[in-house]
């Protein structure tokens, strides 16, 4: 029979835990009541993972990942629609239905989305594992990251004739993920920027952040915009499962996501405004533009600063005071914009930093 002291300690712990949850919830609500002021219009695609005959991972109390992902995605979308009218929200699913993996990024590309956010829950053999993770596309650096990607990618095995859409890719084979070592996403730096803001927002509501990570997720592989995959927590951890099952827990996660996404779009907004202001100045680089192929580029170092599905007029790029010529390469359905050539890598790095400051955060150096 527990002693009076044991009962007091247990009661105190419960009271403190309840106070912590209530305080975090009220703090999150205060954050959400601040409108997300933006000057430009944006399109956001929210992708609740799994659905229909694909339940995703299953918690210790039978909680289904697909249900939590949908609930948090819809709550996030509702907050954005209420407080950020300049952001149009599109869902890959709004009910419990099976959506093939390839159709999710396909929808985002078709709608010309500015950001793609896939929402999931995690699982682990160790029930003590807990916390949030946010992934960008890339090659896994740890076995744990690989296991998460393999689990999420295995959904394609539930699709009819999945080989038609994914070739010979076997989500259960570690060797299949070598293909992602060659992956170069034009929006990788921006995706990392979104992911960083998401994890910081989770920390602000008292969640343990396991950090920003990279792994080979098929749902992110074919997106033509910044994209992230969010793991809300571990359903195999009884405490986190209870938190994510609760309406309060789902609302807190949605509020944190709202805060992070609003912060990211405001960051994007500031870059666009800076680019517009600089466009009023003489645009020396765009006056000298050539469309060619990679094979016909003069040898040297180039800085690629943009990749788009539709060709942009050089006069709209607002490039200022850049020594070198602007080149446009059309390959595999993409228009790639480069400036150069430069004979020294150091000079190309200087131009790269200039482009970063002019609103092209994903600019990178490449040698031809």
The CATH architecture of the domain made up of 15-273 is 3-Layer(aba) Sandwich (3.40)
Q: How far apart, in Å, do the first and last CA atoms of the chain sit?
A: 77
Q: What is the dihedral of CA 74, 76, 82, 85, to 10 degrees?
A: -100
E-strand ranges in the chain read 42-48, 87-91, 115-122, 132-137, 209-215, 227-234, 289-292, 301-308, 325-331, 334-342, 364-367
* Alpha carbon distance 46, 107 (integer Å): 11
* Alpha carbon distance 261, 194 (integer Å): 7
Residue 49 is inside which H or E element, if any?
Answer: none
- Asked if 127 contacts 60 with a C-beta cutoff of 8 angstroms, the reply is yes
Q: What is the pLDDT of residue 13?
A: 41
- 136 - beta bridge partners? 214
β-pairing, 227-234 vs 115-122, is: parallel
Correct CATH for 289-367 of 3.30.420.10, 3.30.70.1070, 3.40.930.10, 3.40.50.720:
3.30.70.1070
* Alpha carbon distance 162, 275 (integer Å): 43
Q: What is the pLDDT of residue 151?
A: 80
Q: What are the angstrom distances between the C-alpha of 87 and each of 59, 79, 84?
A: 33, 11, 6
* Alpha carbon distance 205, 255 (integer Å): 9
Query: In the chain, where are the structural domains located?
Result: 15-273, 289-367
Q: pTM of this prediction?
A: 0.68
Q: What is the dihedral of CA 94, 99, 103, 109, to 10 degrees?
A: 20
Helix (H, G, I), strand (E, B) or coil at 347: helix
CB atoms within 10 A of CB 200: 16
At residue 8's C-alpha, the angle toward residues 7 and 14, to 5°, is 90
pLDDT tens readout for residues 227-279: 999 999 999 999 999 999 999 999 999 999 999 999 999 988 888 877 666 55
What are 283's two structure tokens? 């645009």
With 0-12 / 13-18 / 19 or more C-beta atoms within 10 angstroms meaning exposed / middle / buried, residue 125 is exposed
Series of mean pLDDT values for 10-residue runs along the chain (368 residues)? 46 40 44 79 97 95 97 98 96 97 93 96 96 86 72 81 76 71 68 94 96 88 90 97 97 97 92 67 53 85 84 64 78 84 88 80 85
Distance of CA 104 to the CA centre of its chain: 14
């Amino acid at each position: 029979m527990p002693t009076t002291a044991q009962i007091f300690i247990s009661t105190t712990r419960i009271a403190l835990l309840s106070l912590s949850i209530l305080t975090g919830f009220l703090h999150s609500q205060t954050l959400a009541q601040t409108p997300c002021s933006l000057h430009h219009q944006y399109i956001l695609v929210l992708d609740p993972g799994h659905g229909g005959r694909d339940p995703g991972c299953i918690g210790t109390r039978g909680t289904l990942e697909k249900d939590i992902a949908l609930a948090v995605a819809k709550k996030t979308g509702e907050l954005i629609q209420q407080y950020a009218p300049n952001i149009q929200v599109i869902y890959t699913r709004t009910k419990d239905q099976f959506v093939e993996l390839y159709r999710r990024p396909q929808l985002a590309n078709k709608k010309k989305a500015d950001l793609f956010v896939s929402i999931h829950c995690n699982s682990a053999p160790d029930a003590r594992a807990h916390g949030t993770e946010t992934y960008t596309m890339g090659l896994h650096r740890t076995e744990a990251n690989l296991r998460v990607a393999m689990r999420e990618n295995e959904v394609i095995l539930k699709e009819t004739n999945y080989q038609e859409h994914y070739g010979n890719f076997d989500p259960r084979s570690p060797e299949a993920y070598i293909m992602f070592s060659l992956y170069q996403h034009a929006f990788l730096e921006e995706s990392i920027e979104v992911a960083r803001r998401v994890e910081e927002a989770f920390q602000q509501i008292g969640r343990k952040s396991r950090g920003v990570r990279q792994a080979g997720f098929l749902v992110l592989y074919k997106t033509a915009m910044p994209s992230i995959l969010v793991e809300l927590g571990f359903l195999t951890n009884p405490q986190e499962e209870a938190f994510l099952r609760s309406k309060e827990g789902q609302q807190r996660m949605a509020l944190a996501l709202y805060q992070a996404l609003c912060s990211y779009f405001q960051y994007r907004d500031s870059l666009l405004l800076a680019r517009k202001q600089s466009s009023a100045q003489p645009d020396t680089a765009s006056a000298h533009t050539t469309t060619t192929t990679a094979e016909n580029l003069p040898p040297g170092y180039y800085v690629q600063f943009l990749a788009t599905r539709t060709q942009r007029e050089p006069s709209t790029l607002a490039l200022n005071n850049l020594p070198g010529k602007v080149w446009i390469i059309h390959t595999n359905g993409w228009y790639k914009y480069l400036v150069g050539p430069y004979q020294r890598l150091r000079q190309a790095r200087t131009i790269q930093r200039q482009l970063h400051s002019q609103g092209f955060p994903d600019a990178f150096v490449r040698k031809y």
